[in-house]
């Protein structure tokens, strides 16, 4: 099994599309303003945005995007006008990350974990 894609809800699909394209995703299906699908720059995963009349209450989902060079990525995104809610932080679970929110308030985490993403020292041995 492989993760195909994640779909998020949006009050304004065109605005969200512009935001995610600034992050580096490539638009591959455009049924805007109802729905779009974007392709991640690496790997086979895609990311879609679907229009809703209102966003779900409570905790929204958190989406993680992994990059090879976090500092360089953050610098490039800041030049495009993206604002972050945290500074780059080295986490105790051996990831380095930075947090931000998309136009609908979904939490995004851009991070680098390298080998530790799937193989941390505490991984269960089979």
The structural domains of the chain, ordered by start, are 5-117 (3.10.180.10)
* pLDDT higher than threshold 80 for residue 67: yes
The percentage of residues in the chain with a pLDDT greater than 70, rounded to a whole number, is: 98
Query: Which residue do the tokens 């991640």 mark?
Result: 40
Region 83-112: mean pLDDT is 95
* pLDDT at position 2: 72
pTM above 0.85, yes or no: yes
* pLDDT higher than threshold 70 for residue 37: yes
Tell me how far CA of residue 95 lies from CA of 24, 73, 82, 109, in angstroms.
21, 15, 21, 11
Separate counts of helices (H) and strands (E) for the chain: 2, 8
Q: How far, in Å, CA of 83 to CA of 64, rounded? A: 16
- The model's confidence at residue 44, banded by pLDDT at 50, 70 and 90, is confident
**Average of per-residue pLDDT values in the chain:** 93
Q: Coil, helix or strand for 99?
A: strand
* pLDDT at position 1: 59
Q: Which of 23-37, 55-69, 78-92, 97-111 has the lowest mean pLDDT?
A: 55-69
């Amino acid at each position: 099994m492989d993760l195909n894609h994640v779909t998020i809800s949006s009050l304004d699909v065109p605005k969200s599309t512009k935001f995610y394209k600034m992050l580096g995703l490539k638009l591959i299906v455009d049924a805007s303003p109802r729905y779009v699908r974007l392709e991640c720059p690496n790997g086979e995963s895609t990311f879609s945005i679907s229009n809703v009349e209102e966003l779900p209450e409570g905790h929204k989902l958190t989406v993680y995007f992994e990059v090879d060079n976090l500092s360089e990525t953050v610098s490039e995104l800041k030049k495009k006008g993206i604002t972050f809610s945290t500074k780059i932080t080295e986490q105790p679970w051996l990831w380095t990350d930075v947090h931000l929110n998309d136009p609908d308030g979904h939490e995004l985490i851009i991070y680098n974990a390298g080998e530790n993403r799937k193989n941390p020292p505490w991984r269960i041995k089979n």
